[in-house]
Amino acid sequence: MPDESNTGPGAAAVAADAEVKAPTAKKERSRPPQKAAAEPAQPKAPAAKPRRYSDQERNDKLRLVETQVSEGNTLKNAIQSAGISEQTHYHSKGAARNS
């Protein structure tokens, strides 16, 4: 009957393989950076009320734009210098025609 003890040359190889094949620790994924600490919840400020120009203000702005354009400025620059958007300019211009 063969000797069943693990003292032979094969036993050393099995022991060496056991050390090599030891489970390795899993790689940890890098986590996304944490958000800044949340501040206490405060009620949101109401949305800004859209600016409404009076009829006089509209007419003044339209006249200002017209004079600047007649002096050689571009329409876009004239509208910007009046402090209004292009959309507001065209809306005011249309409202002035209909009145």
User: For position 18, what pLDDT does the model report?
Assistant: 54
pTM above 0.75, yes or no: no
CB 78 within 8 A of CB 65: yes
CB 61 within 8 A of CB 53: yes
Per DSSP, 3 falls in state: -
Per DSSP, 42 falls in state: -
Both tokens assigned to 21: 């094949």
> Average of pLDDT values for 71-95?
93
Alpha helices per DSSP H over the chain: 9-20, 55-70, 75-82, 86-98
pLDDT at 11 over 60: no
pLDDT at 59 over 90: yes
